[in-house]
Structure 1
């Protein structure tokens, strides 16, 4: 298991969030808190770069789904970029891929 490193670049209503490591049941709560903070700041256009993500379990996937719903309710979007490996497969198998305005 690898820790999750989260790097955020902010703009007035937008943010780029880069992930590196494992997004799992251990790291998901802190990631959820980070995304909630961005929403509170008014960042409603969020791009999550998952190119550095080594692993994502259902806890991590659920954080992404929840935040997409939150932003959608605020008139925003959550996009995913750099999707590969397990996350790509899970998004395809579950039919969640279209939920994210993504460049998968």
Structure 2
């Protein structure tokens, strides 16, 4: 298995419902990039952020820890973080871990943004 890096981009900046696009491998070495990006996002009460994980190829326990920390930060701010575009293998991993009981998953980022708008 060839490991790739991780890219995290925020779009559109300043949006009411920003989307963080995560692509590559989320592991011990790359998770600080996502942690920094999540810490830079403002979670406002009643608002939310979408994590577009459609480009995520791999996620280890360190990556899961960063995602859980982002979820907890959103909860503490009375905000939401929605997950979109997970491939079937990663979605199955989240289900096995029981995170489907806490996280909200959407097929694509547009549906997740729409869910935030309706909320």
User: Aligned to 2:49, what secondary structure does the other structure show?
Assistant: strand
Output one character per residue of 1:20-70: Cα deviation in whole Å (capped at 9) or x when no partner: 110111110121011001137x59511011111111111111111111011
- The question of 1:90 aligning with 2:84 is answered no
1:53 match? 56
Runs of 4 or more above 3 Å deviation: none
Q: Cα RMSD (Å) of the superposition?
A: 1.9
1:34 match? 37
2:102 match? 99
Question: What count of residue pairs does the alignment treat as equivalent?
Answer: 103
User: Aligned to 2:4, what secondary structure does the other structure show?
Assistant: coil
Distance 2:66 2:32 in 1: 8
How far 1:12 sits from its partner (Å)?
4.2
- Structure 1 or 2, whichever has the larger Rg, is 2
User: Aligned to 2:104, what secondary structure does the other structure show?
Assistant: coil
Check conservation: 2:8, 2:33, Cα contact below 8 A. Answer: no
TM-score by length of structure 2 reads 0.77
Distance 2:39 2:16 in 1: 14
